[in-house]
């Protein structure tokens, strides 16, 4: 059965359009409740959210839908996505729901789901929910209706969890850190974590008003953080996205470190602690410079499809611990079950403290290859489905790969939402990469 509503990470869309309406969210809550009650006569679900104004509407609708199916709910209010994953597991609940559209603007919203173990749920579970959406409702009678309660200390519990993921000896005393929470879910949590570990904290992007989430701040707009680090003479800046599962770091020189570089720093820190590190997982977009640098350290890099759920699947299959994406979704499975921007930042800061060296020094020898990315619009969705049969493009791809001779790479992939082919060339020489990418793009439309 094909999925109609679920994407790569839950359900997401523009508020006011299906499926992000109060009516659909009521139905979704009821359908999720019906699936949960197949295995448990009285399940309980945690519901957290970011700071979008539409979160109030969606929270109420989901709560009503779950209650109508006989499911209890625990409400946290604004809390990072990884905080919901943690508390779902810690409180021994059956499911965790996060109302968020992550790094999108406030006009969008959505719902993410976590299992009782705090992990992303498999495709099979999503298909079950979609089937339940199509089935007739089974309304609970008054005696069976679910109840709701608010978890007043959710924020404090999660703060303590974040602090527990680093050594008890770690102190950030003497560091000035700018924390940018993107006016999102971590606006109260993130500054508190770094302050309680001893840092002098300057907060930006911590004044949500319901519509300013991710607007000009956060991991998708690091220029604000670069400016704040310079203004305040800070040692580091930490940028999260709207639901705080994504991270970028800035140093005192204004250098922005992306997820690929931060993954490398985390791997080398584990090696310095003499921990086994046979491999790490990136994605099809992970920079080749990081792959080569890891290989020089005896660490294999395996590439998964783009999306943190695919990185997690690959890590789980191989029994490895570290993985991530250039966008800043980083996984440290010995610390948490899902990507966590705050926990990842702590891992990187701990690495600099252990090495007694700034982050830039830990990354000496890792100079990211420029990536040229071109979007090639094809005539129709049907053309996109058959792009691999384009003989001219295949011929030019072989020529380009021969010319690169291992000093770069080509990635061509289809968009999942529009008739667009994404052509990427990565090599040490940016101008050369641009010329090669243009040759490929021209061949794609012939």
Q: Which of 344, 437, 348 is nearest to 397 (CA)?
A: 437
Domain ranges of the chain: 11-153, 173-256, 258-339, 371-444
Domain spanning 371-444: which CATH class is it, in words? Answer: alpha beta
Q: Over the stretch 288-297, which tens digit does the pLDDT of each residue have?
A: 999 999 999 9
DSSP-assigned states of every residue in 201-270: EEEES----SS-TTSS-STT-THHHHHHHHHHT-SEEEEE-TTS--EEEEETT--EE-HHHHHHHHHHHH
Give the predicted TM-score (pTM) of the model: 0.93
Average pLDDT, the chain: 95
Domain spanning 11-153: which CATH class is it, in words? Answer: alpha beta
Q: Over the stretch 325-344, which tens digit does the pLDDT of each residue have?
A: 999 999 999 999 999 999 99
Q: How confident is the model at residue 102 (pLDDT cuts 50, 70, 90)?
A: very high
What pLDDT was estimated at residue 385? 73
What pLDDT was estimated at residue 254? 98
Superfamily (CATH) of domain 173-256: Alpha-D-Glucose-1,6-Bisphosphate, subunit A, domain 3 (3.40.120.10)
What pLDDT was estimated at residue 143? 96
The CATH architecture annotation of domain 258-339 reads 3-Layer(aba) Sandwich (3.40)
Q: Over the stretch 157-199, which tens digit does the pLDDT of each residue have?
A: 999 999 999 999 999 999 999 999 999 999 999 999 999 999 9
Instruction: Judge whether 171 counts as a catalytic residue.
Output: no
**Residue 248 pLDDT more than 60?**
yes
User: Catalytic one among 54, 100, 102, 327?
Assistant: 102
What pLDDT was estimated at residue 416? 67
**Segment holding 127, helix H or strand E:** helix 123-134
What pLDDT was estimated at residue 306? 87
Intrachain domains 11-153 and 173-256 with the same fold: yes
What pLDDT was estimated at residue 389? 87
């Amino acid at each position: 059965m094909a999925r109609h509503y679920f994407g790569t990470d839950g359900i997401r869309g523009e508020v006011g359009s299906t499926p992000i309406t109060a009516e659909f969210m009521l139905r979704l809550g009821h359908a999720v409740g019906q699936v949960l009650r197949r295995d448990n006569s009285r399940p309980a679900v945690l519901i957290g959210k970011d700071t979008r104004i539409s979160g109030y509407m969606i929270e109420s609708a989901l709560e009503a839908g779950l209650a109508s199916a006989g499911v209890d709910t625990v409400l946290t209010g604004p809390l990072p996505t990884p905080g919901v994953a943690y508390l779902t597991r810690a409180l021994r609940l059956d499911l965790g729901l996060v109302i968020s559209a992550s790094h999108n603007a406030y006009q969008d919203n959505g719902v993410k789901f976590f299992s009782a173990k705090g992990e992303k749920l498999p495709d099979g579970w999503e298909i079950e929910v979609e089937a339940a959406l199509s089935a007739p409702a089974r309304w609970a009678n008054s005696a069976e209706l679910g109840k709701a309660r608010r978890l007043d200390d959710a924020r404090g519990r999660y703060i303590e969890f974040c602090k527990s993921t680093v050594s008890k000896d770690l102190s950030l005393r003497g560091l000035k850190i700018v924390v940018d929470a993107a006016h999102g879910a971590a606006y109260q949590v993130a500054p508190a974590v770094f302050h309680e570990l001893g840092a002098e904290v300057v907060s930006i992007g911590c004044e949500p008003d319901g519509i300013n989430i991710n607007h000009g701040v956060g991991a998708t707009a690091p220029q604000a953080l670069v400016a704040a680090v310079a203004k305040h003479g800070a040692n580091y800046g930490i940028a999260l996205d709207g639901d705080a599962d994504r991270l970028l770091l800035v140093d005192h020189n204004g250098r922005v470190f992306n997820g690929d570089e931060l993954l490398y720093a985390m791997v080398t820190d584990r090696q310095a602690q003499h921990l086994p590190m046979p491999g790490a997982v990136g994605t099809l977009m992970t920079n080749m410079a990081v792959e080569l640098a890891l290989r020089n350290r005896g660490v294999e890099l395996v590439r998964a499809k783009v999306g943190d759920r695919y990185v997690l699947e690959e890590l789980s299959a191989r029994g490895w611990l570290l993985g991530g994406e250039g966008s800043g979704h980083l996984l440290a499975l010995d610390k948490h079950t899902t990507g966590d921007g705050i926990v990842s930042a702590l891992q990187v800061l701990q690495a600099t403290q252990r090495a007694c060296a700034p982050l830039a020094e830990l990354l000496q020898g890792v100079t990211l290859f420029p990536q040229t990315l071109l979007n090639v619009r094809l005539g129709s969705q049907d053309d996109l489905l058959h792009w691999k049969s384009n003989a001219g493009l295949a011929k030019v791809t072989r020529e380009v790969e021969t010319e690169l001779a291992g000093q770069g790479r080509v990635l061509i992939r289809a968009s999942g939402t529009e008739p667009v082919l994404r052509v990427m060339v990565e090599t040490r020489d940016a101008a050369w990469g641009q010329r090669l990418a243009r040759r490929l793009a021209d061949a794609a439309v012939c």
